Amino acid sequence: MKVLIPVKRVIDFNVKARVKGDQSGVDLANVKMSMNPFCEIAVEEAVRLQEKGVVSETVAVSIGPIQAQDTLRTAMAIGADRGLLIQTDADPQPLAVAKLLAAVVAEEKPDVVIMGKQAIDGDNNAAGQMLAALLDWPQATFASRIEISGKTAKVTREVDGGLQTLEVTLPAVITVDLRLNEPRYASLPNIMKAKKKPLDIKQAADLGVDMAPRLKVVKVTEPPKREGGVKVADAAELAAKFKAAGVL
């Protein structure tokens, strides 16, 4: 069984994002980049399935600039067998990402796609669902537990009322949530081994995908600064302030 794991290069989650002076986007100059945390969880889950003998091959794929090779090397240091970079200097929107991944799926023919439910930069939570629709595959999103047996996958997901368990027939698209697992730290020997694992590079333009943006970013602004708190003399004054603010 082959697993395809899309991974994205994003601003490190420990870094405070800065907005460009012209408010056209986020400033990426001299900013530490790393693998999207949800993608890291997907890689960890695929590697665990491989360690259990359920999966025979794990392939990590990334869409982005040439620097995204580092993200793929991180995935291979965690345990992915090989990497594939779809190189583009553009910042593709979710539909374009789904179309590019669909083209990769047509070539690689994986049995299952395991990917993060969203990227922490765009927070769109759309690429996985769009990919499943384009492939006409079943989908199971927000997975907190994955069990694969034969040609079926049982996925437990968190919903408002508790837990929901879905059973899908493979091939399928599964998107993962934070509670699925805790990714391992890549050891130094595995980091060195990852440098020797195969990593192919293809140009996004060669896949024949229409990457024209459907959405236009009008303006990016920082959230308003939090105002300081005030002290009140008693509960009556507190209630009065709530009423004045329209809370009560």
* Domain locations in the chain as residue ranges: 2-244
Does residue 248 surpass a pLDDT of 70? no
Mean pLDDT of 202-209: 91
Strands in 162-169's sheet, in edge-to-edge order, are 162-169, 152-159, 139-149, 172-176, 112-116, 2-7, 57-64, 82-87, 199-203
Helices (H) and strands (E) in the chain, counts: 6, 13
Q: Burial-class residue 132 by CB neighbours within 10 Å (0-12, 13-18, 19+).
A: buried
Q: Are 78 and 71 in contact (CB under 8 A)?
A: no
What mean pLDDT, rounded, does the chain reach? Answer: 92
So what's the architecture of 2-244 in CATH? 3-Layer(aba) Sandwich (3.40)
- Which sign does the torsion angle of CA 73, 78, 83, 89 carry? negative
pLDDT bracket for residue 228 (50, 70, 90): confident
Partners of 6 in the β-ladder: 61
Q: Which two tokens stand for residue 168?
A: 């899908």
Mean pLDDT of 140-165: 93
Partners of 35 in the β-ladder: 9
Q: What is the pLDDT of residues 87-102, one digit of tens each?
A: 998 889 999 999 999 9
Q: What is the pLDDT of residue 222?
A: 84
Between residues 174 and 208, the one the model is more confident about: 174
Q: What is the pLDDT of residue 71?
A: 95
Partners of 124 in the β-ladder: none
- Mean pLDDT check: name the lowest of 25-34, 124-133, 162-171: 25-34
Q: What is the pTM of this model?
A: 0.86
Taking the C-alpha atoms of residue 166 and residue 117, their distance in angstroms, rounded to an integer, is: 16
Taking the C-alpha atoms of residue 130 and residue 157, their distance in angstroms, rounded to an integer, is: 19
Q: Are 78 and 44 in contact (CB under 8 A)?
A: yes
Q: Are 43 and 73 in contact (CB under 8 A)?
A: no
- Helix, strand, or coil here: 167? strand
Percent of the chain at pLDDT > 70 equals 100
Neighbours of 22 (CB within 10 A): 8
Taking the C-alpha atoms of residue 83 and residue 35, their distance in angstroms, rounded to an integer, is: 14
